[in-house]
Amino acid sequence: MNILEEVKKIHETLVELRRDFHSHPELSMQEYRTATRIEEELDKLGIEHYRSTNTGVIGLIRGMAKSEPAKNIGSDESESNVGHQNSTREGKDRIVALRADIDALPILERDDREYCSINQGIMHACGHDVHNTSLLGAAIILANNRDKFAGTVKLIFQPGEEIGAGAQTMIENGEMKGVERIFGLHVAPDLRCGEVGVTSGINNASVDHFRIEIEGKATHVSTPQLGTDALYIAAQTVVALQALVTRTTSPIDPVVIGIGILNSGTSYNIVSGSGIIEGTTRTTSAKTRQEVKDKVTKTAKNIAQIYGGTAKVVWKDYTSALINDDRVSEEVRSIVEDILGKNAAKIRPISLGGDNFAEFLLEVPGAYAYLGTSNERLPNTLIQIHNEGFDIDEKALDIGAALYAEYAIRWLNLEF
């Protein structure tokens, strides 16, 4: 079966689905309509499903082919490079998971295309509508070809990725139990439609959010000695945090400390009594991640103390670093080359953006591939994600669906 050719037959269906999701985006953990639409599509296909979290959907497609004798994976695969044991697949129903995230961003879409967002100030500017639709496309192919594979395909429609939620809750709900492989896709406007980025090892940085709450003492600007200037403390802290990167971390160990919010003061003639700094850190190793967090906290507290104030630092962990399993990356790369040609598989540079698909990879071996979506003839497809004008070449939907379906069938049929 040529899966890509099969997917092309449902191209118009995928375009219609994607445009429906695109025009009805929903914020993280509020994807109620999206989840309902996913369930409607799964019902049409006779795929059993259930909710995992309020807006997360799990679908199960059970193959009907006769199971081949299970293989012992062997010593070369008995240890995953993410630090946990693989199962041997002996005497078990084989399970492969396919994941797509479904939430949108708080961005006002600015375009006159017919499928522009109707939800003011919310937009699928990160391509999650594409991921969602591609996985539903794979579901169509898999549901119509149950006789061609044995075992179970678990479809994971994950909410809340943009705020670092969803994945961990699904894991805590037991969704990785029995799963031996997981595969996911993300749009990549830096790659042309027909290209797919598949990189072994580190792909994305860990992402953490910090909020620094500074307390000083307000007074009139004419008597600064009677107060404690929280705004000045905040300003000194922002400058010092940038120096942490340039002077205390290795240039070959990527670190980002970004400040997005600085609020302080109530009037031009009052020494500020409080201030808020919010920002993020991006790192690529667990060791550096903790070291940077410790340095940020210590820097903020020490500067506040020097000038007579206090600083409280509150952290929220969004996601771990995303590290692709070497063996699974090779499996995915072989599929890309078979479907799209030998030059279609690209090595994509490390991104300091994060994705909490990383949390699934800490549980089972897997890979995250980057689906090329740009086309020089379609100007908006050259715009990067998280931008109000972002769009895709919709031929990428076919490729995404084919990659999802092909990986599941090959893994379940022991073709790797």
Binding-site residue positions for Mn(2+): 126, 128, 162, 186, 386
3-state class (DSSP) for residue 103: coil
Cα 313 to Cα 28, 235, 272, 275: the distances in Å are 25, 16, 19, 12
CA–CA dist 217, 230 (Å, integer): 7
Burial class (CB in 10 A: 0-12, 13-18, 19+), 178: middle
Please state, in angstroms and rounded to a whole number, the distance separating the CA atoms of residues 261 and 278. 5
CA distance 139 to 83: 31
CB atoms within 10 A of CB 216: 25
> Are 50 and 39 in contact, with CB atoms under 8 Å apart?
no
Q: Enumerate the known binding-site residues.
A: 126, 128, 162, 186, 386
Q: How many CB atoms lie within 10 A of CB 350?
A: 15
How far apart are alpha carbons 416 and 412 in whole angstroms? 9
Cα–Cα distance measured from residue 158 to residue 59, given in angstroms and rounded to the nearest whole number: 11
Calpha distance 414→325 (Å, rounded): 18
- Give exposure, 261-275, as e/b (b: 16+ Cβ within 10 Å): ebebbeeeeebbbbb
Which 3 state secondary structure label does DSSP give 312? strand
